[in-house]
Amino acid sequence: MAEAAEEDLHWLGLDWDEGLTQGGPFKPYTQSLRHSYYEQALKVLHDNGYLFPCSYSRKDIQHLSTAPHGPNTHKPYPISLRPDQLQENWFSELFEETNQTNKPTTFAAIRFKVPEQLITFRDRVYGTIEENVLESVGDFVLKRRDGMYAYQLAVVVDDIAMEMTEVVRGTDLLASTARQIMLIQALGGTVPEYAHVPLVRNAAGEKLSKRDEALTLRALREKGVTAEQLLGYMAYSLGLLESLRSCTLQEVLDRFTWDHIAKEDVILPADFGDQLMTL
């Protein structure tokens, strides 16, 4: 799947300096091979007093919490659930337990103790964003009970290690940014610039998923759609073209400016592939 994704991006005309197939100075680029980096980051956070074990399930927290829902649709983790005291060796013992063979789960997840702090950042599309993570999300998980590292930790550790200066992604991850900035600061990293762009949705208004097989780059290409037709549609939907037409990647690059990026999600028509063929 990773190789297919790279092939599709090459078809659009995109290239990159380092990554999964050509390597680079920050390899490996596969997260499943980077667990030692995540474990070291957890140790740094533990040594600085940011972590604690949590044996509550999500269902337990939803039942116990009476606070309003945060932006992630779940109730924030209540401060009252933080342990009053921690055993001296809880961190090392927890890692010993999760590293045992044939042991799929452990007794606790590891949560980040969120400080009382207002996170403010400027998004290149949505402007200034402010969030009090303690109120909106509360203490969040960095390592799950099954031993898997959480997205919030993995992406931050990778961004720091790979010296990322700019993060561009969909608006569905805008609500994660304040948490990630908080983690970057706690780990002593440099906060990158952020830009969140609108999502592409199907005709029913749903975020694209595997069930939308006819809308994948591979399916459109096999249908006979050209890269220029698809680039023109995307550029127009983002506000970079004045009319709906085919265009080259270089034209998109020449016209690109963050000021023109639209904030509304893009809804693809049911006959999207057929419409592209007419451009």
CA distances 60 to 56, 70, 74, Å, are 6, 17, 12
What is the per-residue pLDDT for 108? 87
Q: Which of 152, 204, 162 is nearest to 183 (CA)?
A: 152
Indicate the class that CATH gives domain 34-197: alpha beta
- Residue 90 tokens read as 């809880």
What is the per-residue pLDDT for 100? 58
3-state secondary structure of 16: coil
Q: Residue 164 and residue 151: Cα distance in Å, rounded?
A: 16
Element (H, E) at 191: none
Q: Residue 124 and residue 215: Cα distance in Å, rounded?
A: 28
22: Cα within 13 Å, side-chain hemisphere: 6
With a cut of 50, which residues of the chain have pLDDT below it? 67-70, 72, 104
Which of the 8 DSSP states describes residue 76? P
Sequence-separated (6 or more) residues with CB below 8 Å from residue 30: 2, 20
What is the per-residue pLDDT for 75? 80
Q: Which of 140, 145, 141 is nearest to 107 (CA)?
A: 145
Residue 249, class by beta-carbon neighbours within 10 Å (0-12 exposed, 13-18 middle, 19+ buried)? Answer: middle
Q: What is the pTM of this model?
A: 0.90
State pLDDT tens for residues 214-247. Answer: 999 999 999 999 999 999 999 999 999 999 999 9
Residues carrying CATH 3.40.50.620, the chain: 34-197
**The domain at 203-277 falls in which architecture?**
Orthogonal Bundle (1.10)
Contact 262, 237 (CB under 8 A): yes
Using only the alpha carbons of the chain, give its radius of gyration: 22
What is the per-residue pLDDT for 67? 46
State pLDDT tens for residues 167-200. Answer: 999 999 999 999 999 999 999 999 999 999 999 9
Residues carrying CATH 1.10.1160.10, the chain: 203-277
Residue 258: phi and psi, rounded to 5, are -65, -30
CB atoms within 10 A of CB 121: 16
Strands 51-54 and 109-112: antiparallel
